[in-house]
Amino acid sequence: MQGNMMNQPLLISQIIQHAEQYHSQAEIVSRTVEGGIHRYTYRDAAARSRKLAKALSALGIQVGDSIGTLAWNTYRHYECYFGISGLGAVMNTINPRLFAEQMTYIVNHSRDRYIMVDANLLPLLEANAAGFETLEGYIVMTDRAHMPETRLDNVLCYEELIEGQDDDYEWPQFDENTAAALCYTSGTTGNPKGVLYSHRSTMIHAMAAAAPDALNISSRTSLLPVVPMFHVNAWGVPYAASMHGSKMVFPGPALDGASLWELIDAEQTNLLLGVPTVWLALLQYMDSIGKTLESVNTVVVGGSAAPESMIRTFHQKHGAFLLHAWGMTEMSPLGTLTTPTPHMDSLSDEDRYKLQTKQGKATFGVEMKILGEDGAELPHDGEAFGRLMVRGPWIVDSYFRTEGSALEDGWFDTGDVATIDPAGYMQIVDRSKDVIKSGGEWISSIDLENAAVGHPDVAEACVIGAAHPKWDERPLLLAVPVEGREVTLESVNSFLADKVAKWWLPDALIQVEALPHTATGKLHKVPLRETYYNYLNEQESAS
Ligand code: AMP
């Protein structure tokens, strides 16, 4: 027997309609690409999103067409979230840090008809334009006065485009399973893979993300998403915040510590979201000016593991709780969070910091299990580790325009290796391809890296498995020193001695000026393995 309730589709346009009606005065503040701060309300954003949808329709864009965006976090990119998806087209966010060939691949594979681009990113498109097969034109997200010189054809001005329309527009109604947004994973090998979110998956994810025991987003929140809108839709935060009328502060292209602090202070933001490297830079800057983050309650850290030293510093120096979150492009992205609980409150600071280094409990809507090498399910005892499998209504089923399912018996293999403890806290041991196999046992490169960055002379650390004649692989530490300092293996290993098992201690340390990162800011270990995989063998034969 079926229920008797309305079968109303969940559509992204409902978010901006709701925000306009019930949070019309709440503010959206942006640091602009042109320079300076822009400020308006959800009411203004809603009207401009309708104008954008009308303008795109006038260009011939229809349901199912793909429009690329190559842009920083600003109010215009925010308008694309609704203007493009709301009309039934697909917003294909493109990461400006991708290699040229990956960008060309994505534009062609998604069959983008137009790309909406920030003026200062236009050169990236100029460099690749010859390879674009389906593109009809470019829309530069600025006004006429700031339109850059370009040799590209059919370049339109965003402000002129929407000024040419009124905001009298009814959002169309369609099936909630219609595609809304497309984000490609920046795999370290092979072509990027497209994850095609639907209106339904985006809406359910945003509702779950806003919940008190998830990101706790409400009308009292003033949030700063440093996580880019081109990476998994800024973790779904623009949707979730608009549902609840949070004040939203977009940092534009300026992601350095000084610029972020200026916005945090001026706009009194209380919720920050971003990857660890961004917060390292902010914390260093705060130290250098001797100030603390007075308005901030919570810093959400995801994308890479949050080191314990960062958890401690946010709490002890800034009175802020580091909410560690884990997820991935294929999961929209939210999977787990270390939400503050009464149990956490009862712990000593030190025990709580330890718990916060775990990636957290699954948010409602996500199921997790871990599998051993034989494919059997492993116990949730906090010790056994295996392949982390997930399923849920906002998790990918198959990759875009790719044959076959992405699933294994209905579950998605995250590519992460993890433990789950009896309370349900999941902890990432490593990416399955990064784990170090030493004498038949596994060493977590992530744990070693996170412990090593606690050393006062280490600014950034990366651990890879290097070939070893006796143990198969042993850990090799590449370390970027804090400015003006030197790091040595002896000093780091004596620092690590009470933090990791003795047989985990790195066999060698190489001091480097910088470490390579992927387009999403994660350590890029592939080229390091290529260069250093035989380092220990070579040392051995040289001695
Ligand atoms: P992406 O799809 O680019 O967002 O990358 C997802 C991957 O980033 C995950 O599968 C993890 O390997 C890693 N990741 C994300 N969040 C965390 C976290 N909090 N701790 C450790 N690794 C993380």
**Strand order across the beta sheet in which 112-117 lies:** 155-157, 137-140, 112-117, 66-70, 90-93, 179-185, 193-198
Interval between CA 303 and ligand 1 midpoint (Å): 4
38-to-74, 117, 119, 375 alpha-carbon distances in Å? 9, 18, 16, 53
- Whether pLDDT at 539 is above 90: no
With CA atoms as reference, report the closest residue to 352 among 419, 301, 425. 425
- Give the number of other CB atoms < 10 A from CB of residue 484: 6
pLDDT digit string, tens, across residues 398-407: 999 999 999 9
Structure tokens at 469: 């004649």
Encoded amino acid at 341, one letter:
T
Which residue out of 277, 522, 523 has the highest number of ligand 1 atoms within 8 Å of its CB and is therefore the one to mutate?
Answer: 522
Predicted local confidence at residue 190, as pLDDT: 78
H or E element at residue 436: strand 436-438
Catalytic residue among 354, 408, 437, 441: 437
Q: In the annotation, is 531 catalytic?
A: no
Catalytic residue among 185, 329, 357, 419: 185
Query: Of residues 526 and 217, which shows the higher confidence score?
Result: 217
pLDDT digit string, tens, across residues 468-506: 989 999 999 999 999 999 999 999 999 999 999 899 999
Least confident of 82-86, 195-199, 498-502: 498-502
Q: How confident is the model at residue 187 (pLDDT cuts 50, 70, 90)?
A: low
Q: In sequence order, which residues have a C-beta less than 8 Å from that of residue 524 and are 6 or more positions away?
A: 188, 515, 516, 517, 518
Least confident of 72-86, 486-500, 513-527: 513-527
Q: Which atom of ligand 1 is nearest to the CA of 518?
A: 3
- Whether pLDDT at 522 is above 80: yes
pLDDT digit string, tens, across residues 300-312: 999 999 999 999 9
Q: How confident is the model at residue 371 (pLDDT cuts 50, 70, 90)?
A: very high
Q: Please give the mean pLDDT across all residues of the chain.
A: 96
> Is the C-beta atom of 450 inside 6 A of ligand 1?
no
Contact in structure between 514 and 462 (CB atoms under 8 Å): no
Structure tokens at 527: 């080229």
Q: Across residues 314-325, what is the average pLDDT? A: 98
